[in-house]
Amino acid sequence: MKDIQETTSKIIETLSQRGELITCAESCTGGRIAAAITAVSGASAVFHGSVVTYANEIKHLWLGVSQEVLDTYGAVSRQCVEQMLTGVINLAGAHYAIAVSGIAGPTGGTPQKPVGTVYIGIQTPFSQEVFQCFFHGNREQIQDQSVAFAIEKLAELLDI
């Protein structure tokens, strides 16, 4: 895995040069992506804020995730992350967004969605992609893998 701080620095530098903003909507990562971004000097030029929407009610109220999506597909779903991306872009007025919802464990898994199931979405001005991931390890390891995957995917989409 690449050095996350180095990759995050390149993302910040690139977005800063372009005059573009990034935001995050995080659930199972609990703000760790935002923490990775703000750990880099210069982040304030491209990162004005993000949200941690752990409860379904907050996903609905703050980000506009529809109750139908939550009832039909659940919070840990492609459909939920798609709506989280749209909601946080609108909320923050950003150009780019990362959204994450998953099951970090050790509890909460089901046969259909075992612990380690994480949906990670990236919104750019040109596209929206959501990745279904299956990470392994303890809670912290699953969170760390989710953060690393999200940052690396954003860097790939920025071509850096």
Sequence ranges of the domains in the chain: 4-157
42 pLDDT higher than 70: yes
Split at pLDDT 50, 70, 90, the class of 2 is: low
Whether residue 1 is predicted with pLDDT greater than 60 in this model: the reply is: no
Q: Which CATH number is associated with domain 4-157?
A: 3.90.950.20
As a whole number, mean pLDDT of residues 4-28 equals: 97
Contacts by 130-139, CB closer than 8 A, 24 or more apart: 130/78, 130/81, 130/82, 130/85, 132/78, 133/102, 135/102, 138/105, 138/106, 139/104, 139/105, 139/106
- Hey, which residues does 37 pair with through a beta bridge? none
Question: Helix crossing, 4-18 with 139-157: angle to 10°?
Answer: 40
pTM above 0.85, yes or no: yes
